[in-house]
Amino acid sequence: MKGIYLDYAATTPVHPDVVLAMQPYLNIKFGNPSSMYQLGVSNRKTINESKKTIAQCLNVLQEEIYFTSGGTEATNWAIKGYAEAHPEKKEIIISQIEHHATLNTCKYLEKKGYKIHSIPVDKKGFISLKKLESAMNDNTLMVSIIWANNEIGTIQDMKAISDICHKHDVVLHTDAVQAFGQISVDLSEVNVDMLTLSAHKFYGPKGIGCLYIKKGIVIESLIHGGSQEQGKRAGTEYLSGIVGMAKAAEIASQYQQVYYEKLNYLSTRLHQRLIQNFDCIFNGPEIGGRRLPGNINISFKDIIGTQLSYWLDQNDIYVSTGSACDSTSIEPSHVIKALKVPEEYMRGTIRFSLGNEFLESDIPRVIAKLKDGLDFIQ
């Protein structure tokens, strides 16, 4: 029997149409886009067309899209680049449940003398808008809030966050890596200044992402060298990856509502069976409008999530845990800690994230294997 993959929030398989779109740029249309001969000039046009496609998906200008190696680089660039361009301000506001790309970038800047304000969240993972606004002052450099959380699926009210930031003339960056393709990310409706995307979260290739930088926002380069990406991000472009990202974004945008409804349906069915069969806590918002459609984060009582995850892996069910492991201890993730999950459940956290290949007929097998796994490790 085939394995059941339930970790789409970590990465997705590349869509077959994306593979087809990429293929010519690996071995036929391989010219360096910075070269002046026909093979290079043609590929420069291809990059511009790819930017146009992604810009249309976000409802922004083509020249506001800058390709990167992925979401982590884009987020590093947004925060560090803006900090370097505006050294007069030294305070940054984030949430307690940011991705590590944001958390560790801010920890780096903290060592450089920056003050980081971490806004708490409630038991569903939503930030306090009042505390966000009260944290702002004349020394606030920027705000960086994740649009949709990768562990618990919480979708923040980015419109309200944006309104608060711009009321105080504070620049807003958002990590939309998990959001894009699952929910509407329309920047004509939500006014953000910088936004991070990563192709492999929406059935594109790994190793390619982009940073949206609103026209007029000034940031320093993170990578220096040639004049690629309008002189702001050096390095020969990952041409096939760029083509693949654009194609994946086009498909994701076209089928976003269908995908949302499909995953919400499957999540509801799986969630019902989990709650019926196990002593567990459902982390994050209710399934529906304020939660990513394919995200189910469950904490089981009196178990170690990594042990259950390992057992499931050995039995062809692929999930992730809400824990970070090192050589000496297993600690609950910063997200689960921020939710104040009860101690007897906290270490037993498992994330199921659903996607295209998951079927309703897979649910009984998942439940049966979970029962076997819990019986084995308890």
Q: Name residue 143's beta-bridge partners.
A: 93, 172
pLDDT at 297 over 60: yes
* C-alpha to C-alpha distance for 329 and 310, rounded to whole angstroms: 16
Dump pLDDT digits (tens) for 249-284: 999 999 999 999 999 999 999 999 999 999 999 999
* C-alpha to C-alpha distance for 188 and 185, rounded to whole angstroms: 9
Q: What percent of the chain has pLDDT over 70?
A: 97
Average pLDDT, the chain: 95
pLDDT score at 378: 81
Pairing of strands 91-95, 140-146: parallel
Domain limit, last residue, from 219, 254, 289: 254
Count of other CB atoms within 10 angstroms of residue 98: 23
Residues 178 and 240 in one domain: yes
Domain limit, last residue, from 254, 273, 305: 254
Residues 213 and 264 in one domain: no
* C-alpha to C-alpha distance for 243 and 132, rounded to whole angstroms: 38
* C-alpha to C-alpha distance for 324 and 250, rounded to whole angstroms: 34
For residue 115, the domain's CATH number is: 3.40.640.10
* C-alpha to C-alpha distance for 206 and 69, rounded to whole angstroms: 8
Dump pLDDT digits (tens) for 302-334: 999 999 999 999 999 999 995 443 434 467 899
pLDDT score at 85: 98
Q: Is residue 165 annotated as part of the catalytic site, yes or no?
A: no
When divided into structural domains, the chain yields a total of 2
pLDDT at 51 over 70: yes
Amino acid present at 2: K
Is residue 290, in this structure, part of any structural domain at all? yes
What's the maximum distance between 2 C-alpha atoms anywhere in the chain?
66
* C-alpha to C-alpha distance for 284 and 348, rounded to whole angstroms: 15
Residues 279 and 369 in one domain: yes
Which of 57, 106, 280, 325 does the annotation list as catalytic?
325
Residues 237 and 361 in one domain: no
Residues 227 and 303 in one domain: no
Residues 246 and 279 in one domain: no
Residues 36 and 94 in one domain: yes
CA torsion through residues 315, 318, 322, 324, sign:
positive
Could you tell me which of 45, 25, 27, 26 has the C-alpha nearest to residue 35?
Answer: 45
What domain range includes position 300? 256-377
